[in-house]
Amino acid sequence: VEAAIPEPQREAWKKFTAQEFSTKEEFQAEAVRHIETTLARSLFNCDELAAYSGTALAFRDRLVIEWNKTQQRHTFADQKRVYYLSLEFLMGRALDNAMLNVGFKNAAKDGLSELGFRIEDIIKQERDAALGNGGLGRLAACFLDSLASMDFPAWGYGLRYKYGIFKQEIVDGYQVEVPDYWLDFNPWEFPRHDITVEIQFYGHVRKYQDETGKNVAVWEGGEIVEAVAYDVPIPGFKTKTTNNLRLWSSKAASGEFDFQKFNRGEYESSVADQQRAETISAVLYPNDNLERGKELRLKQQYFWVAASLFDIVRRFKKTKRAWAAFPDQVAIQLNDTHPTLAVVELQRILIDQEGLEWDEAWQIVVKTFGYTNHTVLPEALEKWPVPLFQNLLPRHLQIIYDINLYFLQSVERRFPKEREMLSRVSIIEESQPKMVRMAFLAIIGSHKVNGVAELHSDLIKTTIFKDFVKIYGPDKFTNVTNGITPRRWLHQANPRLCELIASKLGGYDFLKDLTLLGEIERYVDDKAFKKEWQEIKYANKVRLARVIKETTGVSVNPAALFDIQVKRIHEYKRQQLNIFGVIHRYLAIKSMTAEERKKLAPRVSIFGGKAAPGYWMAKTVIHLINNVGAVVNNDKDVGDLLKVIFLEDYNVSKAEIICPASDLSEHISTAGTEASGTSNMKFVLNGGLIIGTCDGANIEITREIGESNIFLFGNLAEDVEELRHHHLYGKYELDPDLLKVFEAIKSGTFGDANAFSGLVNAIVDHGDYYLVSDDFHSYIQTHDLVDEAYKNQDEWLTKSIQSVARMGFFTSDRCIQEYADLIWNVEPVPPKE
């Protein structure tokens, strides 16, 4: 390639090629240059935001230089690439991560300090990139970090939402949603106005036979929207590899049509077209574990999938290989069913545009895709009404019908006696209206299907996908237990703990091989080490207490046990169980003598998380937590013994402060409902203990850290179905302690009782689907054990240290290695040197 460029031109170019800063002074020069030129500011009007901007731009330059080199290297290496398709990437802030991953934070800190700024204040200026709802989106972000850190040639593909997840404000105890317009200033993206794809919607299909007698389908008419690429560099840790996250933004196609309208003076209608096009990538749907079946959502999905596949196919075609080689060059992972249309789109490209035969094309498709399932909750499984599909994507619906036909024919041949199975496994649900079952399409169109924790992967095989295990055999189904990146969740979030560990392990290698953490178990009896461990936890609690004071006005005692539940508000996650437990504790304190109170360990119960705007029950839970807080926090009898805090607008950057500050965190979903959970891993990695049910990754965490280091309680997944049945059809009594809690609520202790009747009635009258009452006693008792355990600080510290030491398994690097070996069959492309 180089030889094609004339020597003198090459020389001139090389002479001036962009250089990375490598000293504090060079960094300062770059930052100041950006502040003075790119931002047109000066020494006299450089506030913290401008200083952040200059610093970010300096680091961005650095990343993009490596980004360019990495992309060239990957092109020359010509190896199989991985594409991670996710509708959500919950990235959080980028600057601190960039500084730490390229190993330049200390120099930047000194450099900024000389320029008059504290690095912590500068980092805080950045807005979160909040393009996700919760665990699923954050997992995608952790995976990108691991893929880059492990030198895999990998790209993420997503949507560039103009509005990420809403900002949550709490007004009079209620959640209020405020739009998150985060793109005002975003130095971390590169618009690629030259990389665009035209995406078609609606229209109709014309079928005919060509001269050779071959059936041809042409998708015609409808509307065209343009996808524009925005690239976000993803720096690996301690490697020069800098991967790409490509986000698509929608805009009106710049075709003749608009010009003509404009020419004719139809300005308004021309602007309306523009806006309609831009709507596609305008907002992230704010539902976690819930699908609403809105047309715009399906439009988003096709827009993103079609643009990404066009891009992937274009890149493959440049290599001039035969189509059969596609799956040797390309692995595409479907993050949940949201990108399942990619299966259909690739089949369409191969048969309609590239002229392959159906069977040949389908083999390529299946070898290319892998599908990750993230939930068994029925309300979260995607289904699209056939009429909606027919209208928006007529050709795709035809292809789905054909995929289904061939699939059902093969099932019928193999299981001729099981006719009912056909309707059970059909991609099309025979309801009114008919529905397209996206999970089934994803299974049929992929060579591997995985769950995200052992229990969850077992559950999908025995419940929702049972028939498919019979059809395909068990080997198509596998497990990859989730993980988290220790770079963000230890190095960045807990620098002091990280430093202490590094001092014992002789460096930071454990951040690339987390199993090395095991070595610190040797220090569980080392007094000085323990003391420092304890001091760090205390300092992290002080840091959180400061945030609590600033945002809620409530002073909490950092010496109290910090008991934290932060995650999306959902009935299955059971924040209601937690707040009922808190009320129980409050009532107990109220009925105690002064002597008895003295024996009690002080607690701070901290909640955080967003409710989907349309999820009334979840919003009621937030309201109750806030009302309980208002009563408890002002009750003189209680004082420091109990404080109840709701931290508003829980997000990635807040999680970085919260996770290192827990003594105890709560992961208390009804058994069998939380596919994995990942904050459980973040809290334990930061030295907090957990109280939890036998659900999701809690089970594997227990196996790794030991049963004595975790507070497990509650019914098991295998018993849930029967209990629910019994609630509906048997005679049963609610837990007496829980009934006392309900009495207090009903008597108006926490404000208008009517406001909370839905919450209470779900348990009393409507079958207690989430088994709050069944688990209440065990939950309360286990909290008593926590109180006892916390009184023995030395033992508590032992548990904390042992747990951290044994968390090596939960790094997302291990996940990526498993995906690479089991599903993608890809190798890293390490930088030379």
Contact 658, 647 (CB under 8 A): yes
Contact between 482 and ligand GL2 per CB under 6 A: yes
Note whether 403 and 356 are within 8 A (CB): no
Among 370, 445, 609, 696, binds ligand GL2 (CB under 6 A): 696
DSSP, collapsed to helix, strand or coil, labels residue 324 as helix
**Region from 135-143, 162-170, 235-243, 323-331 binding ligand GL2, contact rule CB under 6 A:** 135-143
Residue with tokens 């003598």: 593
Kindly tell me which of 453 and 644 has the beta carbon lying closer to ligand GL2: 453
Considering only residues 215 through 244, tell me which ones interact with ligand GL2, judged by CB under 6 A: none
Distance in Å, CB of 30 to ligand GL2, minimum: 38
Residue 452 touches ligand GL2, criterion: CB under 6 A: yes
What are the tokens at 384?
Answer: 């699209």
Work out whether 375 is an interface residue with ligand GL2 (CB under 6 A).
Answer: yes
> Is residue 286 a contact point for ligand GL2 (CB under 6 A)?
no
Handedness of CA 775, 776, 777, 780 (dihedral sign): positive
Question: What is the DSSP annotation of 741-794?
Answer: HHHHHHTTTTS-GGGGHHHHHHHHTS--TT-HHHHHHHHHHHHHHHHHHHH-HH
Closest CA to 376 of 463, 479, 466: 463
The H or E element that residue 117 is part of is: none
Q: What's the closest the beta carbon of residue 679 comes to ligand GL2, in angstroms? A: 8
**Site stretch for ligand GL2 (CB under 6 A), options 42-50, 133-141, 212-220, 742-750:** 133-141
Catalytically annotated residue among 70, 372, 620, 678: 678
Rounded CA-CA distance 246/157 in Å is 5
Query: Is 457 near ligand GL2 (CB under 6 A)?
Result: no
| 289 part of the interface to ligand GL2, by CB under 6 A | yes
* Binding segment toward ligand GL2, per CB under 6 A, in 2-10, 230-238, 373-381, 713-721: 373-381
Residue 131 is a binding residue for ligand GL2 (CB under 6 A): no
Given 105, 570, 573, 643, the catalytic residue: 573
Residue 573 appears among annotated catalytic residues? yes
Q: Which of 162, 476, 682, 806 is catalytic?
A: 682
Strand partners of residue 333: 84, 370
Binders of ligand GL2: how many residues, by CB under 6 A?
Answer: 18
Question: Does the annotation count 568 as an active-site position?
Answer: yes
Residue 380 touching ligand GL2 (CB under 6 A): yes
97 binds ligand GL2 (CB under 6 A): no
What's the min distance (Å) between Cβ of 336 and ligand GL2?
6
Using the rule CB under 6 A, give the single segment among 128-136, 231-239, 402-410, 811-819 that binds ligand GL2.
Answer: 128-136
Q: By CB under 6 A, tell whether 139 contacts ligand GL2.
A: yes
- Least separation in angstroms between CB 695 and ligand GL2: 9
Cβ-based nearer residue to ligand GL2, 88 or 345: 88
- How far apart CA 128 and CA 145 sit, in angstroms, is 16
**What is the rounded distance in angstroms from the CA atom of residue 306 to the CA atom of residue 540?**
45
Only segment of 127-135, 274-282, 581-589, 614-622 that touches ligand GL2 (CB under 6 A): 127-135
Q: Is 133 in the site for ligand GL2 (CB under 6 A)?
A: yes
Residues 6 or more apart in contact with residue 157 via CB below 8 angstroms: 83, 84, 85, 86, 245, 246, 247, 248, 304, 308, 311
Measured from the CB atom, the residue of 51 and 380 that comes closer to ligand GL2 is: 380
Q: Does 583 bind ligand GL2 (CB under 6 A)?
A: no
Of 123, 342, 675, 759, the one binding ligand GL2 (CB under 6 A) is: 675
**534 contacts: CB under 8 Å, gap ≥ 6:** 793, 797
The answer to whether residue 610 forms part of the interface with ligand GL2 (CB under 6 A) is no
Task: Please tell me the distance from the alpha carbon of residue 563 to that of residue 645, in angstroms, as a whole number.
Answer: 10
Is 678 part of the annotated catalytic residue set? yes
Min CB(699)–ligand GL2 separation in Å = 13
Minimal distance, residue 325 CB to ligand GL2, in Å: 32
DSSP letters for 28-97? HHHHHHIIIIIS---GGG--HHHHHHHHHHHHHHHHHHHHHHHHHHHHHHT--EEEEE-S-EEEE--HHH
616-632 and 757-764 helices, crossing angle to 10°: 110
567 is catalytic: yes
Q: How far apart are CA 181 and CA 750, in angstroms?
A: 35
Site for ligand GL2 in 460-479 (CB under 6 A): none
Residue 743 CB coordination number (10 Å): 12
Residue nearest to ligand GL2 (CB): 135
| CA distance to 318, 518, 523, 808, per residue, from 505 (Å) | 47, 10, 11, 14
**Residue whose CB is less far from ligand GL2, 165 or 625:** 165
Q: What residues have CB less than 8 Å from 817, skipping those under 6 apart?
A: 150
Stretch that binds ligand GL2, among 5-13, 258-266, 676-684, 727-735 (CB under 6 A): 676-684
For residue 677, state whether it binds ligand GL2 (rule: CB under 6 A).
yes
Q: Which of 674, 700, 768, 774 binds ligand GL2 (CB under 6 A)?
A: 674
* Rounded Cα distance, 444 and 435, in Å: 16
Eight-state DSSP code of residue 163: B
Least CB distance to ligand GL2 at residue 572 (A) = 9
Q: Which of 82, 122, 136, 582 binds ligand GL2 (CB under 6 A)?
A: 136
Q: Taking each helix axis as running N to C, give the angle between helix 736-746 and helix 772-791, from 0 to 180 degrees, rounded to the nearest 10.
A: 100
Q: Which residue has the tokens 């960045």?
A: 492
Residue labelled with tokens 């098991």: 716
- Please identify, using beta-carbon distances, which residue of 544 and 618 lies nearer to ligand GL2: 618
Query: For ligand GL2, which stretch binds (CB under 6 A), given 56-64, 129-137, 163-171, 760-768?
Result: 129-137
Say whether residue 374 binds ligand GL2 (CB under 6 A): yes
CB 168 within 8 A of CB 650: yes
The Cα 463–Cα 467 span in angstroms is 9
334 belongs to the binding site for ligand GL2 (CB under 6 A): no
Site for ligand GL2 contains 700 (CB under 6 A): no
Least distance to ligand GL2 from the beta carbon of 484, Å?
10
Contacting range for ligand GL2; rule: CB under 6 A; set: 47-55, 195-203, 668-676, 733-741:
668-676
Which candidate in 537, 567, 584, 806 is catalytic?
A: 567
Question: Shortest distance, CB of residue 677 to ligand GL2, whole angstroms?
Answer: 5
DSSP 329-358: HEEEEEESSTTTHHHHHHHHIIIIIS---H
User: Rounded to an integer, what distance in angstroms lies between the CA atom of residue 693 and that of residue 714?
Assistant: 6
- The contact set with ligand GL2 (CB under 6 A) reads 133-136, 139, 288-289, 374-375, 380, 452, 482, 674-678, 696
**Looking at the annotation, which residues are catalytic?**
374, 567-568, 573, 678, 682
